[in-house]
Amino acid sequence: MAILKFVLPGLVALLCSLNLALAASSNMQETSRHLYDRVMEEFKHRDYEAALAGFRFFLEIHGQSSLAANAQYWAGECQYRLGRYKEALKSFNSVVSDYPMSQKLPASTLKLAQTYNKIKDLEKARMMYEQVIALYPDSTEAELARKAIDVPMTQDRDLGPVPILTGSNP
């Protein structure tokens, strides 16, 4: 009984602190989700500069959240759409290397291939397309990678695939 006098207050304090920690964690997740959703709205409205700044800010303050890999991926998407291909490569590579359990791995690997294609590094583009197919064979990204390999990989940004001229066709 004497032991219970000393253990019980400590146990109560421990349970209270765990409850506070869980509440703080839940509040932090809610805050990170709210910020992430707001930044995604900027992206959806095609304000890629604002969205990029928002995703960078998100990663600074919520870099350990469950949404960090997604934020890193979307930062890369912003850079890609702004034509900042070398920065986009860094962002997509970061998803692959820093978040090995992320659901964004297939998409990031595909975007690496597409980005290499944009900067005319066709060897690396093909290698990344093949990696998407090998690692994620049943994914939508693998289907897109297969199509990209079947089409000439040199593309004009506005015109789509450049046709290959063969035979006597002009």
Closest CA to 46 of 70, 88, 72, 74: 74
Nearest-angstrom CA–CA distance, 71 and 30: 15
> How many domains are there within the chain?
2
Q: Which are the contacts of 91, defined by CB distance < 8 A and separation ≥ 6? A: 72, 73, 75, 76, 79
Here the CATH number for the domain that contains residue 46 is 1.25.40.10
Q: How many helices (H) and strands (E) does the chain have?
A: 7, 2
Task: Say if 17 falls within a structural domain.
Answer: no
29 pLDDT tier (thresholds 50, 70, 90): confident
Inside any domain, residue 24: no
- Does residue 18 sit within a domain? no
Residues 111 and 58 in one domain: no
Within a domain: 165: no
For residue 144, the SS3 value is helix
DSSP 151: S
Tell me whether residue 168 is in a domain: no
Identify the CA nearest to 131 among candidates 155, 118, 103, 112. 112
Domain boundary among 50, 80, 98: 98
User: Is beta strand 155-156 parallel, antiparallel or unpaired with respect to 160-161?
Assistant: antiparallel
The residue whose two tokens read 């940004």 is 157
Read off the pLDDT of residues 111-150 as tens digits, 9 standing for 90 and up. 999 999 999 999 999 999 999 999 999 999 999 999 999 9
Q: pLDDT, tens digit, for every residue of 45-80?
A: 999 999 999 999 999 999 999 999 999 999 999 999
CA-closest candidate to residue 33, choices 76, 72, 67: 67
Tell me the pTM. Answer: 0.74
Domain that holds residue 120: 104-156
**26 is a domain residue:** no
Is residue 14 a part of any domain in this protein? no
Max mean pLDDT among 5-9, 25-29, 62-66, 80-84 falls in 80-84
